[in-house]
Copies of this chain bind each other. A is one copy, B any other.
Amino acid sequence: MNRDLLACRPHPSKKISDAIAGDPTIVNLTVGEPGYGPPAVVLDGVARRLGVRTEDPAPSYDRYTHSRGLPALRQAIAGYYHRRYGLEVDPDAEVLVTNGGAGALWLTVFTLTNPGDEVVIPDPCYMLFEPIVRSLGRRPVRIATRAERRFRLDPDDFAAQLTDRTRLLMINSPENPTGTVYDRETLEALYGLVAERGIHLMHDEVFDSLLFEGQHLPARLLEPETRHTVMVNSFSKRFGMTGWRLGWMLAAPDVVEAATKALTFQCLACGTLVQEGAAAGLADTSTDPLVARHCEELQAKSLRFVEKLTAIDGFDLPAGPPRGGFYAFADVRRLYRRLVDRGEAPGPESEVVARYLLQHAKVGVVPGNGFGDAGEGFVRISYAAPEAHLDEAVTRLRAMRETLGA
């Protein structure tokens, strides 16, 4: 774990505040918090954004919550793992509420590594993994995956890259950008290597509610108690609240304790307002069928879109259709060669194609090399857009392809 972080001692006021928490007769003059809440105009502004009426705003006195997150929310998170997988999760010791899934990713890297340590990341993979590692002075070790293996990291390739400095393997399943899902066999083999070394496997499962077939398999299910896995999740996709920035980490108590310390230094705690809503939603099982329906709708959209897309010459899905999430990862190398044949200036395949689609078909997609070198030759296309946008995009792409000739 992070030596600099572990070396930060608990503040001497910790003993005092612990004592105060256990004795209601104490007059607490330790914390300075205002005796007033937000002005009505502030409450109105929030309510407007929230979409509720504000005839009767009552004064709100939200105060700092526990750095680990509202107890009700941590209980709802533990309950979620129990209800879905039968897992026993300790809401007080194993759960940390974070500023979105991204917040949990960052804390995982910062907490589990020291400068110079190696962090293994499949290539391609979610775009934030590598810059988080790099910006902290840790060393990303990218391992190319292959469309023929559905872009899943090959355990043999992982084993070959393990060194004395390897501390962490980060995976995302269901995966952005490739739409792949790790199967049990691969996950078990990767976990086995990690456990044998006493290092950590971080499983970013933010698309767990958007899996198109079968049951989502969190890496945490592979061990009887939380030891070598760190689960990262988010409310963004599940509850359609991307802009609210709320997620969580599930890890061993010592990891959560150190990560909490780091979170305290960064922002003291996450905001209470959205935590309250997320707790209500996650604890209420009536949201489960709603989430399932959103997933079915997305899958239907994905199937329709992918069928039309691959009917256009030059958009290939060698790994098959997406297994979950928002994205199709299309191999556009044949299209690239056609473009160059027709006089387009050569360059990085992903970028040449993405730029061409933008300029000539007026369709915006993301160059695949933005997810790692092995994403070169691919583009990431979101099918989360409204159906009409997807249809319009297909029409434009088809017309664009026709102008290039057979």
Q: Which A residues contact B (CB, under 8 angstroms)?
A: 2, 4-5, 7-8, 11-13, 15-17, 19-20, 23, 25-39, 41-65, 98-100, 102-103, 106, 115, 127-128, 131-132, 134-137, 176, 236-237, 239-246, 261-262, 264-274, 276-281, 284, 286-287, 290, 294, 297-298, 325-327, 348, 350-351, 354-355, 358, 362-367, 369-370, 380-386, 389-390, 392-393, 396
Contact = CB atoms under 8 A, between A and B. Distances in A.
A46 B273 contact: yes
Given A23-B362, A367-B12, A369-B12, A287 B136 contact: no
Contacts of A19: 358, 364
Max count, chain B CB within 10 A of own CB: residue among A55, A236, A271: A271
Contact of A358 (B16, B53, B106, B279): B16
A222 B148 CA distance: 62
A37 to B, nearest CB: 5
Contacts of A348: 12
How many copies of this chain? 2
Given A45-B280, A52-B57, A245-B270, 10 more contacts: A13-B127, A13-B370, A27-B389, A31-B384, A33-B326, A52-B54, A64-B242, A115-B115, A135-B261, A271-B274
A363 B404 CA distance: 80
A384 B35 contact: yes
Nearest to A389: B27
Contacts of A42: 239, 241, 277-278, 280-281, 287
A79 to B, nearest CB: 14
B45 A278 contact: yes
Given A41-B287, A58-B52, A267 B34 contact: no
A385 B44 CA distance: 27
A263 B381 CA distance: 26
B244 A39 contact: no
A204 to B, nearest CB: 14
A47 B47 contact: yes
